[in-house]
Amino acid sequence: MGTLSKEKISFLKQKAKKIRKNVVEVLSQTSGGHFGGALSAADILAALYFEVMKIDPKNPCWQDRDRFILSKGHISVAKCAALADVGYFPYEELLASYNKLGSPYGMHEDMTKIRGCDMTAGSLGHGLSAGIGMAIAGKHDQKDYRVFVMIGDADLQEGSTWEAIMAAAHFKLDNLVCIVDRNQIGVDGFTEELMGLEPLAQKFQDFRWQVKEIDGHKMEEVVATLKAVPFAKGSPSAIIANTIKGKGVSFMESNHHWHFGVATKEQAEAALAELEKGI
């Protein structure tokens, strides 16, 4: 694994910053949105779309592309910000129409409406199974694309996700990567108080996955780990990315009230200022 240049890391950090700012800009225009989880996932999204994934924004249906499924579909706004920035559609379109009647862009995502969206999402616990289907199809067709599935803590509280975790190892899908955006917080508070998931890495290992645990905000580590998949031939790869809900905005960080929140004009301005200069 080659190390990335300082310029490249700096570029990806700028892209992550842009995703965060765009998330705040889009959501603060509406009657509320999922700020916390969108901000926690931004670094990973930047790494995927601007460095790791083999994609062609001019040809969203390219059969050999890497796939990305956002199982935590409620942060579609962050993914759409990335899709726009990488060239699938103009950001202005997202900003102008988000959550509006008939818009392709909104709280959750519809693959038939959003260019570059590989799977419809919104209900938790669905994404990993769909990813298995794509991974099996890829193996069958002898294609070398990878399938990246981002799940949130809450996806792991759904039983269906564990059905998929069991099956992915059974089918030896080393073209499947599950990224856990482990921000530790759900709607009602901390996952470990609500319904504990730990020891999570051990659980994945016990289900015969290869697992790496990383700091989901340290860009060098995020990219290096994503580029190191599969961690072992014949096994699916899990990346538990420890993240901070609301990352980058002081009053949103680690605060479950910002899982879904409504930002006032002042709060939105403060958030954008903090994101710009860094906290």
Q: Which residues of this protein are in contact with other proteins, per CB under 8 A?
A: 63, 69, 110-112, 118-120, 122-123, 125-126, 128-138, 140-141, 159-160, 163-164, 166-167, 170-171
With respect to other proteins, which residue has the nearer C-beta, 129 or 191? 129
With respect to other proteins, which residue has the nearer C-beta, 136 or 272? 136
Tokens 């710009």, residue located: 276
Say if CB 249 and CB 10 are below 8 A apart. Answer: no
What is the helix (H) or strand (E) element at residue 271, kind and residue range? helix 265-277
Between the two ends of the chain, the Cα-to-Cα distance in Å is 31
Say if CB 246 and CB 40 are below 8 A apart. Answer: yes
Least distance in Å: CB of 46 to other proteins?
Answer: 24
Least distance in Å: CB of 120 to other proteins?
Answer: 5
Q: Give the amino acid at 74.
A: H
Question: What is the Rg, in whole angstroms, of the alpha carbon atoms belonging to the chain?
Answer: 17
Using CA atoms, how far apart are residues 21 and 62, in angstroms rounded to an integer? 29
Tell me which DSSP letter residue 88 carries: S
With respect to other proteins, which residue has the nearer C-beta, 125 or 216? 125
Least distance in Å: CB of 245 to other proteins?
Answer: 25
Least distance in Å: CB of 272 to other proteins?
Answer: 34
Using CA atoms, how far apart are residues 155 and 146, in angstroms rounded to an integer? 21
With respect to other proteins, which residue has the nearer C-beta, 12 or 135? 135
With respect to other proteins, which residue has the nearer C-beta, 141 or 193? 141
Least distance in Å: CB of 56 to other proteins?
Answer: 16
